[in-house]
Chains A and B, each alone.
Chain A
């Protein structure tokens, strides 16, 4: 199985400051048949359903604020928040959809310090 490794696992951030989460996969996430890299980022607030923020590495989902951005290629990916707001607290997961079985990272808990 493709292992998704996130860092850090805990991320205290001051309001208005930037934040960055890294995600590394144990294999390349480029899907050979179409050349697309199926790497997604999800945000889950306590007690809520996960919400997708980013798909295919850097495409932002509808309604997602532009302070969220995704980057990376191959096996190294990053989610960045340009200026953290109070509503951004929760757990962030990266997830790969290229290889079976689909796998998630362990999650990164963002909290406001």
Chain B
């Protein structure tokens, strides 16, 4: 069955960058967009952006413009989310989730990656 497996927890200092990875399996990688969503402690869900695995095109939420990059590696079926200039407000669980035109967003999610930003 389709699965998304994310990289492990990360701890960074303010001002640093982080890469979170999401490896797809059990389905054809290029048939689904990959989105990133985060959830700060005790808070709701926030959409960050998405990458099209077919061509690498991206869409980002305005609030992350300039410090976010989403890429994909078709050879390994992996999507990456890079976030730079981290602050304590970026402390959150980061999820990848797939989506497809017609059947919508979020039928399969990664397990989540905990990012802690602290000095």
Contact = CB atoms under 8 A, between A and B. Distances in A.
Interface stretch (B7-15, B17-25, B40-48, B76-84): B40-48
A77 interface: no
B86 interface: no
Interface of A: 34, 36, 38, 40, 42, 49-52, 55-56, 61, 91, 93, 95, 97, 100-107
A97 B59 contact: no
Interface of B: 35, 44-47, 59, 61-62, 95, 99, 101-107, 109-112
What DSSP secondary structure best describes chain A's contact surface? Answer: loop
Contacts of A52: 104-107
Contacts of A50: 45, 95, 106, 109
B34 to A, nearest CB: 13
Contacts of B99: 97
Contact of A61 (B45, B95, B107, B110): B107
Contacts of A106: 44
Nearest to B103: A55
B92 to A, nearest CB: 14
